[in-house]
Amino acid sequence: MKLFNRMLKYLLLGVVFVLFGWAVCFYMGIMTEINDEVDDSLEDYSELIIIRSLAGEELPSNDNGSNNQYFLQNITKDYALSRPDIIYQDSMIYIKEKKETEPARILTTIFRDANDEYYELSVYTPTIEKADLKESIFYLLVILFVSLSVVIIVINVWIFRICMKPFYRLLEWLEKYRVGTKNTLLENPTNTTEFQKLNEAVAQFASHNEEVFEQQKLFIGNASHEMQTPLAVCMNRLEMLMEDDSLTENQMKELIETYQTLEYASKLNKSLLMLSKIDNSQFVEEKDIEMNRLIKMYIEDYQEVYSYKDIEVHLEEEGNFVVRMNEVLAVVLVTNLLKNAFVHNVDNGYLYIYMTREGVKFKNSAENGPLDEKHIFERFYQAHRKEGSTGLGLAMVDAVCRHSCLSIKYLYEEGWHIFELNC
C-alpha cells in the first residue's frame, strides 16, 4: 500500500471514530438539556397543583389548551411510604386531542394534606420523538462525514503533494540509481530539515557504494591480470611434463586433473578480467554490428559443440537486427548466449533462434525446469552446477547489455528456456 493511501486510510478511520464519539456526546447532551428544561416545567406545574390542592382551591383543567396535563389520585399510606417522593420517566401517553399516542415526560410525586391523606400526582407533557432525533442526527452525521471526507482528501492531497515532493524526487532518483553506472547528480532542494538530512545520508551512501565498487573493480582487474601469466606458465609446464613417456598411468591421470583445474582457473580469471574491463568502460570504440551475420558465423563454429548433445539448431530471420556497440563486446554477448543454450539444454534437444529488426530470441529445450530469473544474471550464480562452468557467462551478458544500452530478459514457457535480446 502506498504511503498516501495508508495515511488517508488511518485519517478517515480517525474521522469516523471522532464523529461517532461526537454524535453520541451530542445526542446525550441534547437529551440531557431537553429533559432538564422539561423537568423544570413539570416541577413548576406540579407545585402549582399541589399548592392549590392543599389550599382547597380549584385545580386547573386538563382541557386548558396547555401541553401539561396531570392525574391526581388518593393512595394509601403504605403505598406512599413504599414509593420515592419524586420520579421522572419517559413513556408513551394517549393524547385525546390528537387521538394518538406520543412520547411524554412524566413526573410522579407523592404528598399529603392536613388531614394526613396521601396523594399521588402524575404530571406529564409531550416531548420529542427520540427515534426521530436519532435518525436526524444519523443523517446529519452521514452528510457531515461525507463533506469532511471530501474536504480532508482534497486538502490532504494538496498538502501531501507539496510537502512530500522532495521525498518522491529522492525515491525516483533511487529507482534509477545503479552502482557502477553514470548516475545523475541528486538535485533535491528542500527547506524541510528531515528531507535535507535524508538527502545527505543517501548522497553519502551512494558515494560510499561507488567508492567500494571502484575499489572492487580495480582489485579484480589487477588480480586477474597478474594471475593470468603465472597460470599460463603453469599450464605450459604441465603440457611439457605430460609429453614425458616415462610417466606412469597414475601420474598422467594426476597431471591431467591438475591441468583441467588450472584450465578452469584460467577460464575463470579471463572471465573476471573481461567483466572488469566492461565495468571500467574500456571498450569505447563502437560501430554498427549486424547481429544476424555475427550469430550465423558463430553458430557454424559451435556446430561441433552442439553435436556432442545432438542439438538441432534452427534459425528464422524476419529482419536484420543492427546494434551500435563495441565489436568485441558483441562477440562476448553472442558466444555466451550460444554457450548458455548448450549448457542448459538436453540430449537430442533443440535451439531456435528468431531474428527480427527489433531483437533476437534464443529458445532452447530445458533440462531441469525454470531458472531463477531473479538471480540468473548474478555473478557466480549457477542454478544447476555444470562441469567447467564458471557461473559468469550470463553475468557477462548482463554487463555487456548494460554497457551497450541493450536489454536481456529471461522467460520459461512449457519446457523452454527463452532469452530475449532487444534494444
The three-state secondary structure class of 190 is: coil
Range of 176-180, 280-284, 326-330 with top mean pLDDT? 326-330
Residues of the chain with CATH 1.10.287: 193-279
pLDDT beyond 70 at 250: yes
Instruction: Give 180's pLDDT tier (boundaries 50, 70, 90).
Output: low
φ/ψ (deg, to 5) at 316: -130, 120
Sign of the Cα torsion 276, 277, 282, 287 reads: negative
Q: Which span out of 19-28, 97-106, 310-319, 397-406 was modeled with the highest average pLDDT?
A: 310-319
pLDDT at 220: 66
C-alpha cell at 55: 389550599
Indicate the DSSP class of residue 312: E
Three-class secondary structure of residue 362 per DSSP = strand
- 61 vs 398 pLDDT, higher one: 398
**Average pLDDT value over all residues in the chain:** 80
Instruction: Note the pLDDT tens digit of each residue in 357-392.
Output: 888 999 998 877 778 777 777 776 665 555 545 667
CATH of 3-146, one of 3.90.1200, 1.10.10, 3.30.450, 3.40.50: 3.30.450
Sign of CA dihedral 374, 377, 380, 385: positive
Residue 354 pLDDT: 92
pLDDT, residue 281, reads: 66
Number of neighbouring beta carbons within 10 Å of residue 199: 21
For the cut 70, the answer to whether the pLDDT of residue 255 exceeds it is yes
Residue 181's pLDDT band, with cuts at 50, 70 and 90, is: low
What is the tens place of the pLDDT at every residue in 77-94? 888 888 888 888 888 777
Q: Mind listing the pLDDT tens digit for each residue in 64-123?
A: 555 678 888 888 888 888 888 888 888 877 766 667 777 888 889 998 888 888 888 888
The Cα–Cα gap between 371 and 411 comes to 9
Q: Which residues contact 393 (CB under 8 A, 6 or more apart)?
A: 271, 336, 339, 340, 343
- Sequence length of the chain is 423
* Residue whose cell numbers read 563495441: 326
Q: How confident is the model at residue 236, as a pLDDT?
A: 83
Architecture label for domain 287-422? 2-Layer Sandwich (3.30)
Provide CATH 3.30.565.10 ranges for the chain.
Answer: 287-422
Distance of CA 345 to the CA centre of its chain: 37
193-279 CATH, one of 1.10.287, 1.10.3470, 3.40.50, 2.60.40: 1.10.287
pLDDT in tens, 144-174: 778 877 887 788 778 777 878 888 888 888 8
- Reported as a single tens digit per residue, the pLDDT across 198-229 is 888 888 888 887 777 777 777 766 666 667 77
Q: How far apart are CA 205 and CA 166, in angstroms?
A: 18
Terminal alpha carbon distance of the chain: 33
The amino acid occupying position 292 is N
Distance (Å, whole) CA 381 – CA 385? 9
Domain with CATH 3.30.450 in the chain: 3-146
